[in-house]
Amino acid sequence: MKQKYNFLLLTSLIGLLLICGCKINQQLLNLKKININDTKIGIESEYFNGTIFTEKYPFNEYFNNKTESIVYWTPSEIDISKIENDLRAQLNKLARNNPMNGYDDCPKIHKNLNHYYRQYVGIENEKGEKIVHINFLWDKNRDTYGYDEEYIQVFDGCSYYWEINFNLTTNQFFGLWINGVA
């Protein structure tokens, strides 16, 4: 009887450890939120800095998204933590076969993820799914180009500039685009 009790206790503990272990991998990042104004929220972490553009941000016609009628929403800190955790786990695989990743002495994005400033835009697609568009800009150029001031779209500059989308409904990344070289 005692052996059966010990076996049940041991299997329960193993199960509990497995469940807790999965949750540890999805820990919330320690994000510091800086309210800039009602159209932008600054965020800082030990790994990166970024700007969340709220649904009130006045996007212009240059925001290139394939959705005809765009509905914007504001991603939360929990959304950003989830995306960043998943990105760190999946980026090497996502970028592996992209010929622009590390092209011509440009950085390999998965090896330099902490060197990019992020711009986050929440978009609802035609199915009502929550999409977060993330723009990655080489952090050393932040003060020169004002990444925290305006949404910036760069069309050159190799892997110093890239973007990707994350579907919060399906938990999938899509649309990885690494800039080319002119």
Which residue is listed with tokens 């929403």? 73
* Average pLDDT rounded to a whole number, residues 8-35: 52
The reported pLDDT for the residue numbered 101 is 80
- Selection from 30, 39, 180, 10 nearest residue 104 by Cα: 180
Distance CA 127, CA 49 (A): 31
The reported pLDDT for the residue numbered 8 is 46
The reported pLDDT for the residue numbered 68 is 55
The reported pLDDT for the residue numbered 182 is 73
Contact 33, 42 (CB under 8 A): yes
pLDDT surpassing 80 at residue 5? no
Q: Structural domain boundaries of the chain? A: 30-178
Contact 50, 36 (CB under 8 A): no
- Which amino acid type is present at position 144? T
pLDDT surpassing 60 at residue 26? no
Q: What percent of the chain has pLDDT over 90?
A: 40
- pTM, full prediction: 0.79
pLDDT surpassing 80 at residue 145? no
Burial of 132 (0-12, 13-18, 19+ CB in 10 A): buried
